[in-house]
Chain A
Amino acid sequence: EAQVTQNPRYLITVTGKKLTVTCSQNMNHEYMSWYRQDPGLGLRQIYYSMNVEVTDKGDVPEGYKVSRKEKRNFPLILESPSPNQTSLYFCASRRADRQLFFGEGSRLTVL
């Protein structure tokens, strides 16, 4: 089954404790991206990766890092999480016709 898998689905952490949200896709898509979803703001892009050689900032990259060492994986790293990063995070991969395939989301709470 074609899918994008994120882990963990739910996480509660404390300010400053580094965490990583993993994302993996099995559709051989070149393009992957991370979004955060906040009430009333829709989805905002954090980072995107055109392929394993190209990664760039989206609209709200502050406080986040990403890595794209292989095509299928695109982890999101919060080096020092802060409460304003409490949000619902989605990983997505994109087909050639620009259709995005989303993971089920990771709900992060930073205390």
Chain B
Amino acid sequence: EPEVTQTPSHQVTQMGQEVILRCVPISNHLYFYWYRQILGQKVEFLVSFYNNEISEKSEIFDDQFSVERPDGSNFTLKIRSTKLEDSAMYFCASSEALGNEQFFGPGTRLTVL
């Protein structure tokens, strides 16, 4: 069964460093998403992406965040200058169409020291 994959599973970085989290959405899906879950808290929407542009973003998704689909399969989230409070599990998701099921990857645990 097709699934969303994410790499790395765990990333440790120093405050102020840039990180890139990578995702491979399900191949025939058109909508891509990033969410995050701070330990013990709710899953929070960050951004959605369709047709090579951002469809929607939350107030969390500020100028330090960016997303890109560099080729036909990868979808990345870049955090330019990490802060301690960026430590969280970051989930990528994809859906076939707007309003359809969103399937999530296993997540990347980001630890900022």
Q: Is chain B found bound to chain A in the same assembly?
A: no
Q: Which residue numbers of B lie inside 8 Å of A, CB to CB? A: none
Q: Which residue numbers of A lie inside 8 Å of B, CB to CB? A: none
